[in-house]
A and B are shown apart, each in its own frame.
Chain A
Amino acid sequence: MTATVQGSGRGRALITAREGSAQHRTFQFVGWGIFALFAVIVPYTLPNFRVSQFGQAIAFGVIILGINLIIGYSGLLSLGHIAFAGAGAYTTMILVNDNRWDYWMTWPVVIVICFAFGVLIGLPALRIQGLYLALITIALAYTFPILLKIDEWGISTTTGGDNGRTIGEVLRPPSWARSLFLLNSKNPQQQQAIYQFICFFGVAFVTFVLVRNLIKSRPGRGIIAIRDNQIGAAVSGVAIARYKVIAFGISAAIAGIGGSLLAINLASVGPSSFDFRYAILTLMGLVLGGVATLHGNWIGGILLVFLQDLASRVEFTAIPFFKIERGSPLTQAVFGLILVLVAFFAPGGLMSLAKKVKVKIIRVIPNPPTAPGGASVLADGTPVAEGELTGAAR
């Protein structure tokens, strides 16, 4: 992280703009514009299965957002958040299939259940730290699919056991949405795919804004302070136990929402989507996008889905004694390789590389912070040391 601060000092940016100036705002608008363009181009131009894949990427992005909140911002090394995503997916599936609930109506239940489940697992996290926490959460990721297969108490008939169950409901656009999103000229499958993507995109946007606001708020700063120096934070009056448990609960609830999205996207819920392998894959998505960055998880979700797609289709038969057939187990090595390579060469993930490009384009000089009264903290307006400022601007 220090590297980025130093990097921003070196070299010359294309544009230098004061925070909040017209140039800076144009730059921000361009960023949002690309984001909005993505939301339009993907559903309206790509074939249905690609749209659905992007929906899946968003669902994984939301799961990874939850993991990011706990690993990246809280510094708690939880490898078991896939179990919370699974809990969300199964809750949705059971309510929709067995109780005939509307899909969106299951959400409050998903959030409450996953929050409670997260708090339950988070309570031990108060005493267990570092790799020990990684150990018990990895054990949770191993155990969760097994719990679903227990034959007693009707568990395996409700969850579908090994095979899982399909979901009887799809997101059908209501008539107002059909006219609003210009869907009337399209066939029903297309309508459904586009509508689902737009819903997912909206959900992703809302969770992103909520998490961003949380991170920038007082509890968010407390959580980050605990990560950086627990004792220091305690001395400064951060309620460590409460913040840690709540961070665990919130991140579990977000992962649960992601799981619920994944359930309706895949149209089925099975233990193999929430097993240990996916615990590693979502972790890969997180570090590939960038730990403790606000946008990295979306990149991670997209890469996770499309790398899997690629790995299932790749073939290599050029050299006779080294053949990789389609679907060969060796293709799975690519995910392991990515984990190792990221740890070595891009510890900040792709977002840190994007940041390096960004400082070449624009350098933002932040406004001096203002005291509660509105007066400038530095009366004469002299800027503080540059490194500190860019650090604060992050």
Chain B
Amino acid sequence: MPRFEAIGGSTLNAPGLVPGLLGGIIALLGGIMLVRFLLAKRRGTVGASAAVTTAVAPGEQGPPDTLTSGTGPDIAVDGTGGLQAPSNTRVMVALVLGVVFGTILIGRMPFWLAVFVFVFTSIVYNERTSLKTRSGAIRVLLIAGAIAGATGFAVPFVFERIFLVTLP
């Protein structure tokens, strides 16, 4: 690619002008955050202001923070597919399965098969607590197989046949 001067550019319209300014602003804001953290650490108040930022009108009660507090709503929990407590492991497994699906499975096997493998594995993992008994295991495997099969058939059908969208 020719250098920018060679195509008639000047400092005023250099492509790096705005990224440079933005980098400077982000560094400045990050620096303020760092100073604030260090000051709070010195005062021993780190963590007190680490509450999760949520869109709350001034002086009002915030939205129910079920996303990060991990306490969840104060109602009976059943039929939730095993999601009874917050879990970093579940997030990691979901992340790994998602990345494996998007980067390894797709393109290396027929799309419907990649979808079947991903959906089946995800459901079986998420409902693994039901696998302890024989009847529970059969039920989970059947449900996972049915959902994975239906998704593997329906997604290509709807996207490719009805809406004429190209699939990986």
Q: Do A and B come from one complex?
A: no
Q: Which residues of B contact A (CB under 8 A)?
A: none
Q: Which residues of A contact B (CB under 8 A)?
A: none
